[in-house]
Amino acid sequence: MVGTKGKRSSRHGAVMSGAEMTIQAIVDEGVDTIFGYSGGAILPTYDAIFRYNSANPGKPVRLVVPANEQGAGFMAAGYARSTGKVGVSIVTSGPGATNSATPVRDCMADSVPIVLICGQVARSSIGTDAFQEAPVFSLMSPCAKHVFLVKDPTQLAATVRTAFQIARSGRPGPVVIDLPKDVQNWQGAYDSESVLQLHGYQDRVNAMMHQKMPKATAQAFLNLLKRAKRPLLYVGGGVIISNAEKELRRFMEQFRIPAVTTLMGIGAIDTQSDLCLHMLGMHGSAYGNYAVDECDMLIAVGARFDDRVAGLPDEFAANAVVAHIDIDAAEIGKVKPVDWHYVGDAAVALRSLTEAGKGWSVEHKQWLKHIRAMKKRHKFNFNRDSEIIQPQAVLEALNNITKGEAIIVTGVGQHQMFSAQYFDFKRPRTWITSGSMGTMGFGLPAALGAQAANPGKLVIDVDGDGSMRMNIGELETCTNYNLPVKILLMNNQGDGMVVQWQTLYFGGRYSGTDKTLHAKDFVKTAEADGFRFARRVTDYDALQPALEEFVSFDGPAFLEVRVDKFAFVYPMIGPGAPYHDMLTGPYIEGRSDEPAEDTLDATDGF
């Protein structure tokens, strides 16, 4: 906890440099892998990594050096997202720090715990526009959960320890340490116990950890649930972050309540469960979005009503009373007014409600029957008669091979949405994507971080040609460290999601998205970077065998599949449109296609 002493290290009191203290404190926090790129202002710390590993050959800290500092940040994020542990990136000052701003903001937006350590010019040179100086504290403060500028070297170890505790506690997030070079070179006794006293934050976190849901609060929730005929869970990434998936699944089964998930909540529920309605929102399942429109009680757990889900808040779940569980009080009522709420850990809340509702008898069987019918009628579908490979067909075939067991990482764009729609996930932390920031270039480095953290698991990066170009230098990182990531590039020669919007809303004016002149040969690029498996598929006959060989290949593998440029993502709720105006496209059955008697009347009390 912030403000309490840590466990005493065997090296407590040893004389070290500030750089050595930094690495020792990181090791004491249980870190086994560091992602980063060296440079002048961080050289003492990189030297300390080398010397630590020389002195500890049996248990060295793994150092993964990317092609770019942005890659290091996303690798740390992939490590953190796939494990729940704090990811670590160490970079130099100036451009090293500025290149890391995007991963920091990406982690803040998705509540991902990382610690970024940036080298900085000596304290006496700060503010003089010294070589490779950047205003890290000012730059990162709006992007991170917290930023430290280490001015007092005697507090260095405590600062590192506190950074980890802030990153992982409460609502997780990125913490940045701006570390001047002269502080790294300072010599002193290592303090392995102290942490900084941040009393306001400490009090809030301590209170959160020890609180229990009052019986009256639980009873008020049950009173609302008893009156509901069409309850629906709206599950966000907070359930995964709080490791509350077991409590969620027990709650769902006990009360027999179906659930939709956000993009970040995918994996909290087994997607093959009869109660799972998959993703909701702009590109959510048709049946999931219809259920949101029809429900009379919406139970949000670890979700924040973002604009891709609740685009028109007044019309989102307009017929429902709203209950909201979140660890961050700022999210309660921020977008949509609620009728009941609880600020606290999702696992604690769900456990309390499940216990309070023992002996519950299900009273919404007609709703569940209707849900099952909608899942069957409005299922995902695509053009299965096209001779051009459809991206959905690629992912459907790959899913039949992986069967929900792989860690799926994506870039950002159409391939991201198709992956969310067509892959199965049996457990949390097997779906890794950039949600709120929607950062292109995220997929490949994040997959490398996830693979480094999960050496025995199958990790697949599903990427688009636009996203791949953003951080394509990390292909070499993959082979340098023999990380057996499987990279599936779905190449539609364009920024697919932007092309979709330009087609639907901008009269087909493809400004800046026509990539037909691009001469990049991705397969040759992969081969040049050391991939022993690097292939291209252009027709359906070759697709299935190529996918099977790709997945089973022993080592890093790269497979490019040329797909239809105009295979659009449906369903789609257009900008400024309510759920009932959702576009289902030509291949998914919509409400206008079904008999009137099969449509549930939102006022029907059964």
Check which CATH number belongs to the domain holding 537 and give it.
3.40.50.970
Helices (H), 268-413: 286-294, 346-356, 365-377, 391-402
CA nearest 167: which of 114, 104, 116? 114
Q: Would you say 59 and 430 are in contact if contact means Cβ atoms under 8 Å apart? A: no
H/E element holding 536? strand 533-537
Coil vs helix vs strand at 372: helix
pLDDT computed for residue 3 by the predictor = 46
Q: Is residue 586 one of the residues assigned to a domain?
A: no
Backbone angles phi, psi at 557, to 5 degrees: -140, 145
Please name the residue that has the structure tokens 């399942």.
Answer: 285
Q: Would you say 79 and 44 are in contact if contact means Cβ atoms under 8 Å apart? A: no
- State whether 37 and 134 are in the same domain: yes
What is the value of pTM for the model shown? 0.94
d(Cα 402, Cα 211) in Å, to the nearest integer? Answer: 41
- State whether 203 and 219 are in the same domain: no
d(Cα 405, Cα 505) in Å, to the nearest integer? Answer: 38
Q: Would you say 112 and 240 are in contact if contact means Cβ atoms under 8 Å apart? A: no
Q: Among the three residues 159, 182, 208, which one is the final residue of a domain in this structure?
A: 208
- State whether 35 and 100 are in the same domain: yes
Q: Provide the number of structural domains found in the chain.
A: 3
Model pLDDT for residues 99-157, shown as the tens digit of each residue: 999 999 999 999 999 999 999 999 999 999 999 999 999 999 999 999 999 999 999 99
Which DSSP symbol is given to 580? G
d(Cα 42, Cα 32) in Å, to the nearest integer? Answer: 19
- State whether 189 and 297 are in the same domain: no
Checking DSSP bridges between strand 533-537 and strand 459-464, what pairing results, if any? unpaired
Consecutive 10-residue averages of pLDDT for the chain (606 residues): 57 94 97 97 98 96 98 98 98 98 98 98 96 96 98 97 95 97 97 87 77 93 96 97 96 96 97 96 97 97 95 94 96 96 95 92 89 96 97 98 97 97 97 96 98 97 96 98 98 92 93 82 98 98 98 98 96 91 95 52 35
Q: Is residue 578 one of the residues assigned to a domain?
A: no
Q: Would you say 417 and 569 are in contact if contact means Cβ atoms under 8 Å apart? A: yes
Q: Where are the beta strands (DSSP E) in 220-372?
A: 231-235, 259-261, 276-279, 297-301, 321-326, 340-343
Residue length of the chain: 606
- State whether 347 and 462 are in the same domain: no
Backbone angles phi, psi at 224, to 5 degrees: -65, -40
Q: Is residue 468 one of the residues assigned to a domain?
A: yes
Angle, in degrees to the nearest 10, between helices 365-377 and 286-294 = 150
Active site residues: 69, 131-132, 181, 497
pLDDT computed for residue 594 by the predictor = 52
Q: Where are the beta strands (DSSP E) in 109-165?
A: 114-120, 146-149
Which residue segment(s) compose the domain that 502 sits in?
A: 391-562
Which DSSP symbol is given to 93? S
**Other Cβ atoms closer than 10 A to 57:** 7
Which tokens belong to 258? 């179906």
Please name the residue that has the structure tokens 């970077």.
Answer: 529
pLDDT computed for residue 593 by the predictor = 54
d(Cα 81, Cα 107) in Å, to the nearest integer? Answer: 9
pLDDT computed for residue 602 by the predictor = 38
Which residues touch 153 (CB under 8 Å, ≥6 apart)? 18, 183, 186, 188
Which tokens belong to 184? 């790294």
d(Cα 311, Cα 288) in Å, to the nearest integer? Answer: 15
d(Cα 131, Cα 110) in Å, to the nearest integer? Answer: 33
- State whether 430 and 413 are in the same domain: yes
pLDDT computed for residue 6 by the predictor = 57
- State whether 200 and 231 are in the same domain: no
- State whether 404 and 483 are in the same domain: yes
Q: Is residue 597 one of the residues assigned to a domain?
A: no
d(Cα 339, Cα 305) in Å, to the nearest integer? Answer: 15
Model pLDDT for residues 205-244, shown as the tens digit of each residue: 777 777 889 999 999 999 999 999 999 999 999 999 999 9
Q: Is residue 47 one of the residues assigned to a domain?
A: yes
Q: Would you say 81 and 430 are in contact if contact means Cβ atoms under 8 Å apart? A: no
Q: Among the three residues 208, 227, 244, which one is the final residue of a domain in this structure?
A: 208
Measured in whole angstroms, how far is the alpha carbon of residue 326 from the centre of its chain? Answer: 17
- What percentage of the chain's residues is helix, strand, coil (to nearest 5)? 40, 15, 45
* CATH label of the domain that carries residue 223: 3.40.50.1220
pLDDT computed for residue 600 by the predictor = 46
